Every structure is written in structure tokens, then in C-alpha cells.
Amino acid sequence: MPSSTECPKCQGKMSDGVIVDAGHGQSIISHWLPAPIKVSRWWGLKVRKKDVIPTVTLRCTRCGFLESYAPPTP
């Protein structure tokens, strides 16, 4: 995560948040996956749980600019 909470576009204040994906009656936080992405013919994407990293998104309160990060896992 960046140490600065200043917007790179307008120098406004950035606030923490997440981007929520919705589907099939559920809401989940958006995730990052490393490339190449493997597609299953029947089940969509082939995903290993250890490769999935939840994203953190900063939003500028002045101009609305969004900046997303996939923080390092411990």
C-alpha cells in the first residue's frame, strides 16, 4: 500500500475501501490473480486459493479517482 494518502491526479484526500463484485446472490471483494489465467471448459476459471489476493482500493474524495492494490501476503 502506498504511504501517501494524496491523490496523484488532483492532490485531494484518498480514502480506503474495496470494490465489491456481485453475482448469484452474493457480494465479494474483488481479487487479483496472476497470469496466465487458466480457463476450465465447465467451471469458469481454474483458481488456486493460494494465488488469490484480495484488492484494496483508494478513492479520492475530491475527483473520484480510484487506485487499486493487491497488498503483499504475509
Whether a cis peptide bond, with omega within 30° of 0, leads into 8 is no
Angstrom distance (rounded) from CA 54 to CA 69: 9
The structural domains of the chain, with segments of one domain joined by +, span 29-74
The number of residues in the chain equals 74
Would the pLDDT of 10 be above 90? yes
| pLDDT, averaged across the chain | 87
The mean per-residue pLDDT over the stretch 13-30 comes to 88
Q: What is the pTM of this model?
A: 0.72
> 58 versus 25: which is more confidently predicted?
58
Which helix or strand (DSSP H or E) is residue 31 part of?
strand 31-32
Angstrom distance (rounded) from CA 71 to CA 67: 12
Q: What is the pLDDT of residues 35-69, one digit of tens each?
A: 888 888 888 888 888 888 999 999 999 999 999 99
- Reported confidence tier of residue 2, pLDDT bands at 50, 70, 90: low
The mean per-residue pLDDT over the stretch 1-28 comes to 85
